[in-house]
Amino acid sequence: MSSIQSQFLDLTAHNTCYDAIDPQVALKDSASDKVIFIAGASKGIGQATATAFAQAGAKAVYLTARSEEALKETQNLVRTANPNTRCAYAVCDVTDARQVEAAVKDCAAQFGAIDVADANAGYLGPWVKIGESDPEGWWRNWEVNMQGSYHVIRYTLPHLIESAKTRGAEGRSGGHLILISSIGAQFVMPGASDYQTSKHAINRLCEFVQSDHDEDGIKCFAVHPGGVATDIGHSMPAHMHEYLVDDPSLAASFAVWLSTGDADWAKGRYLSANWDVTELTALKPEILRDDLLVNRLRAKA
């Protein structure tokens, strides 16, 4: 498999934003006419993503999360990053389909479109063995991580399809959908059955979105955002905290890059924000030829 390993790519790893994905340099104005919908935008990676799209010149950024106070903070950061980027928000629990539907409708009504959707809301509970787990707590991971992502997908897709159609007719790329996965999706670690299986399912859900809506012009990605010292990151056992070395700006800038169209060839796949995008692009022929970075059962040694 050349430089391709069975689970990961042997690429230069980054821990923070770098020149090739810098929304204020290489990607400056790349989002100038786009409307961005972000679920889970109140803090951490979601907040950084909202700011990064504003720095890249987004027409508008629509924020959702459960905390209005935190949403106002993100809104202020967006306005500071780019006074010309319009910004609105809705208090929204992604596990509630009606709330997500209402937020999406409000976004489209205010800004006229949705060109990029980022399902960033997530949850990680205590790590315990399945036989010792709390059923409600175990399932909460799936409600937020999987059901929440589904709701964002379901209600933004009609708008993303329209974006892909409209922008495609003009020779531009639109209809980008980013699902937050995790490197944990590729591991089996004691006590992490709820979180890691939900993230593994996100990877497969990404593939189904692409299978169902490739003809509609949708480009869906399942993204590991790096090891970031967010509330979710700190919910891991203490011995795992040494891996929380990545800045939120890395995943945020990576999301902007995914939305430029430069990564459209990698649609329907699992990608890591840590991977150097120039080196990743160089592996395009091999990745497409061998259908890599997707969930598959290995049946041969």
- Per domain, the residue ranges of the chain are 19-289
pTM of the predicted protein model: 0.94
Listed range (42-51, 96-105, 225-234, 245-254) with the worst mean pLDDT: 225-234
Strand partners of residue 69: none
pLDDT in tens, 35-88: 999 999 999 999 999 999 999 999 999 999 999 999 999 999 999 999 999 999
Query: In 3-state terms, what secondary structure has residue 232?
Result: helix
For residue 296, the model assigns a pLDDT of 87
175 in Cβ contact with 220 (< 8 Å): no
For residue 6, the model assigns a pLDDT of 47
For residue 297, the model assigns a pLDDT of 84
Q: What is the mean pLDDT of residues 201-222?
A: 98
Nearest to 115 by CA among 171, 66, 62, 174: 174
Listed range (21-35, 61-75, 155-169, 176-190) with the worst mean pLDDT: 176-190
Burial class of residue 153, CB neighbours in 10 A (0-12, 13-18, 19+): buried
**What is the Cβ-side half-sphere exposure of residue 132, based on CA atoms within 13 angstroms?**
7
Q: What is the mean pLDDT of residues 197-215?
A: 97
For residue 235, the model assigns a pLDDT of 60
2 Rama sector, left if φ>0, alpha if ψ -120 to 50, beta otherwise: left
Name the CATH superfamily housing domain 19-289: NAD(P)-binding Rossmann-like Domain (3.40.50.720)
Q: What is the mean pLDDT of residues 125-154?
A: 96
Q: What is the mean pLDDT of residues 165-170?
A: 96
Residue 232: is its pLDDT beyond 70? Answer: no
Q: Mean pLDDT in the chain?
A: 93
CA 283, 284, 287, 289 torsion: positive or negative?
Answer: negative
113 in Cβ contact with 163 (< 8 Å): yes
Q: What is the mean pLDDT of residues 126-151?
A: 96
pLDDT in tens, 111-121: 999 999 999 99
Residue 129: is its pLDDT beyond 90? Answer: yes
Q: Which residues are catalytic?
A: 195, 199
